[in-house]
Chains A and B, each alone.
Chain A
Amino acid sequence: MSDARRLTPTTYLSLAVRNLLRNPRRTGITLATMIFGIATLTLLSALNDGWLEQMRDNFILSFTGHVQIHTSGFESSQNLNDHIKDPSEIILLVQDSPEIQGWTQRIRTSGLVSLGGSSTGVQIMATDPEQETWVTHMHRGLKQGRWLNPGSSHDLLLGITVAQNIGAEIGDRIVLMAQRPDGEMVSEIFFLRGILETGAPQIDRTLALIPLNAAQDWLEMGESVTDIVIRANSHDDTARLQQRFNQAFASDGYEILAWQNLDPMVRQWLEFSDAYGLIIILVVVALVLTEILNTMLIALHERQKELGIMIAIGTRKSQIFFMLLLEAVMLILLGGALGYGAGGLLVLHLSETGIDLSYFANAFKFFYMDPVILPLLTLDSATRILGTTLVAALLAGLYPAWRATKTDISQSLRTF
């Protein structure tokens, strides 16, 4: 008895296409469900990526930059004694790095701001007014007044909430009080030149911004600074820069912190959003797969007799298995391609117009999110969606195909 050869691929394809078309309405409904599901999946994924990207951008560009260099322990102590005495050596290496878009030096300390009888605690931040615009978008948040003038040593900008709390207006004489590195409390008069609304409430309610040279004179710190803040060309360069600066400076008593290390809460929130997005994706995938499984099982039930006949006249179980699997794969490929295409077009359109969620603007601000979300379909997400859908759908096709091989010939021929 000679072993039967395999059926030709054209026979398999022809059978699969015709079987899918034998009930066009059912195949159409299944395809429509798949297209809707995968398009939704693509849009949700792009929305998730879009707002995660916005959060990351806003967080980095509102204050922290991608990487910061401090004297070891400064981030936790916030003590001016932990300052970088000679930043020029570090700056030389920073300037030579091709992945860097901008850098600035800062002095950060806590202090008190007073106007008349009102006073409130603030985070005093002194920066190079020109360099700062290369690193953050703080200057874009000017609500009133103007940005710091490099030549004016008594310019002051306040966060909008700080200004409201002490009732300050542009041009007011405001007293700043802080502690020098030697421990002596000192105060200085500044003139309010601008009010900032960065979009991040935690910054707006604590920020007092002054020029770096003014702070160095006032606090008698010479050329010293507390932070060297670096903006990379892209987020992907962060880890590489951190590693390079670690190798160069860690042994000299400096700490090199990436943005994720500077605010663990934001990092956790990003991770949570990532996980949440993944859960949504899994739910949509599960729904689509249930639909495929359901359709295939109904089709299998309807064709029980035909499968019995095919086995009776000599079709092997492996051939039946492959036939059924091919039907599922074709359905998935078609539905996947159309769904992904529809989702992609929707994302393309919305990435230009944006999705306006201004109604939730206050809630979004806290998480560094813009009220208008621009969906973003990254290559990573696209691969993940297609890969997950294909693999999972293949799994959904396996069960009906396996069930088909268990067809009881005599039973299926008798029942119908």
Chain B
Amino acid sequence: MIQPDNSSAIITIKKLHKCYWVGSMPFPALNGVNLSIDKGEFAVLAGRSGSGKSTLLNVIGALESVDKGEVIVNGANILGMNHTERTLFRLHNIGFVFQSFNLIRVLSARENIAYVCQLQGMEKKESEAIADHWLNEVDIGHLGYRRPDQLSGGQQQRVAVARALASNPKIVLADEPTANLDTLTGQKLMCLLQQLNDKFGTTFLISSHDPDVKNAASRLIKLADGQVVRKWEKIPPAPPPISKACPIKNLPIAQRIRQFLRKKRKRSSQRDNKGSTPRRS
């Protein structure tokens, strides 16, 4: 599945289109994104809410499908994979850090980290040793036996970072990792992520509104209306018309049938209304 790749890019995205449908209402999320991220980069995706940051991260993380385009991550075309292949791809290549920490509630901090290693096929003892190592790396080695609800937000996010790195991924994707943290804790977390990036050379791609996160970036990628804004562009490019961004052929078949029936009902009720209007003599 993974092809040998001598280039320095670990993520290559070409002409990526993604549209969400709420009922028959289209919401274009990505409008032809082209992007390349190099190995070991500490890149930050910035942009307003709805600009497509989370969708782009989800697509790169093989969590979501797209309408059109090409996504090569660590030499693998992830859009051509089936569900199981994607799961295994995520397990061995991607580490996730979520906005709301998203730890497994019934497992302790140590078990949360060891769980990923066990999924990779490691023995329990080996997994626990790795968990202890990463807990120490993120400075909460003494909190390993606490459950998520016994940890502060910052501590939980450190566990999440340790979990993301414990599987020895090529890329860590972090979606608004500081959004639920106070400023100081957020700054500390960013320092930690930078240190880990320096020490292990893992590629980080982070989406955020937070100025501290943007300042920490080795590369800032701006997104607007589902498109990457190039450095020299002062005004974001105008988004393509909705009919082009979300062609009706991409509407799920069930929604298409529903839309057809709705239109038909509307037309017939309009005809009925016309017929029942009293004429003036």
A: residues with CB less than 8 A from B are 1-5, 7-8, 10-11, 15, 18-19, 21-22, 305-306, 309-317, 319, 409-410, 413-414, 416
Contacts and interface: CB of A to CB of B under 8 A. Distances in A.
A1 B2 contact: yes
B118 A11 contact: yes
B87 A311 contact: yes
A315 B54 CA distance: 21
Contacts of B105: 22, 306
B48 to A, nearest CB: 17
Given A314-B91, A317-B83, A410-B63, A4 B120 contact: yes
A2 B92 contact: yes
B118 A8 contact: yes
Interface in B35-64: 54, 58, 61, 63-64
A3 B88 contact: yes
Contact of B88 (A8, A22, A314): A314
B204 to A, nearest CB: 17
Contacts of A413: 58, 63, 98, 102
Interface in B109-161: 115-116, 118-121, 124
Contacts of A305: 102
A1 B88 contact: yes
B107 A317 contact: no
A18 B2 CA distance: 38
B124 A10 contact: yes
Interface of B: 1-2, 54, 58, 61, 63-64, 83-85, 87-92, 96, 98, 100, 102, 104-107, 115-116, 118-121, 124, 163, 167
Contacts of B167: 313-314
A306 B87 CA distance: 16
Nearest to A318: B84
A312 B90 contact: yes
Contacts of B87: 311, 314-317
Contact of B106 (A7, A10, A19): A19
A11 B117 CA distance: 12
Given A11-B118, A22-B105, A311-B87, A1 B92 contact: yes
B118 A313 contact: no
B64 A410 contact: yes
B124 A8 contact: yes
A4 B83 contact: no
A276 B131 CA distance: 59
A157 to B, nearest CB: 75
16 contacts: A1-B88, A1-B92, A2-B121, A4-B91, A4-B119, A4-B121, A8-B118, A8-B124, A21-B106, A22-B106, A305-B102, A306-B105, A314-B92, A314-B120, A410-B63, A416-B100
B90 A314 contact: yes
Given A1-B92, A11-B115, A316-B87, A310 B104 contact: yes
Q: Interface centre among B84, B100, B102, by most A CB within 10 Å?
A: B102
A316 B115 contact: no
A315 B119 contact: yes
